[in-house]
Amino acid sequence: LVSLGQLNWFWTFKALFWGDIIGDIFYYYAGRWGHGPWTDRLARRFGVTKERMNAFNQIFNEHAVKIIIINKAHALGAPVLFYYGALRFPIWKFLWANMAGTLPKVALFEFLGYFLGSRLSTVQTYLDVIGIALTAAMVLALFWFYWFRSSRSEWHKNRT
């Protein structure tokens, strides 16, 4: 619509930017206020111990800004944003890092939309394939991390 002159690029950018930020704030506060005993039970069901959570929390706190910015580049962002809220990560630091990741993301998508909008069906097919590939890579990475780095795995026991 911007390339057709029906929308102003600046106001479109602002709407997309703030829409993304407001949605991320929703996930942050859902994590801050929405976790409780049920999340602890779910964690225990997946074998998450307090020691593992403390190590995971330490990694999140040490690399918070990098994780938030990288989080903006894939489709599985909600759990990470929820987790930051559950950690009670400082909201202003969260917002700063989130905006730093949202700004180039929105600019890229508005640029792509402007120049590739007429080829939407073709572009959508490529974006779907890329999204599926990134999601599969994320699932495989999580599986690898759980399987090979878990203290329960035979590989880990034989290695140490």
∠ Cα 142 70 10 (to 5°): 145
Query: What pLDDT, on a 0 to 100 scale, did the predictor assign at position 1?
Result: 74
CB 95 within 8 A of CB 29: no
Question: What is the C-alpha separation between 65 and 77, in angstroms, rounded?
Answer: 14
Question: What is the C-alpha separation between 122 and 83, in angstroms, rounded?
Answer: 35
Query: What pLDDT, on a 0 to 100 scale, did the predictor assign at position 17?
Result: 92
Question: What is the C-alpha separation between 93 and 62, in angstroms, rounded?
Answer: 13
Query: What pLDDT, on a 0 to 100 scale, did the predictor assign at position 14?
Result: 92
Question: What is the C-alpha separation between 148 and 156, in angstroms, rounded?
Answer: 6
Among 70, 52, 75, which residue's Cα sits nearest to residue 135? 75
The answer to whether the pTM exceeds 0.75 is no
Q: How many residues does the chain have?
A: 160
Instruction: Give the pLDDT of the chain (160 residues) as one tens digit per residue.
Output: 777 677 788 898 899 999 989 988 998 888 888 776 777 777 777 777 778 778 877 877 788 778 777 777 776 677 778 877 877 888 888 888 888 888 988 888 888 887 776 676 777 788 888 889 988 888 888 887 777 666 555 555 555 5
Query: What pLDDT, on a 0 to 100 scale, did the predictor assign at position 155?
Result: 52
Query: What pLDDT, on a 0 to 100 scale, did the predictor assign at position 154?
Result: 56
> Per the structure block, which two tokens stand in for 61?
């706190």
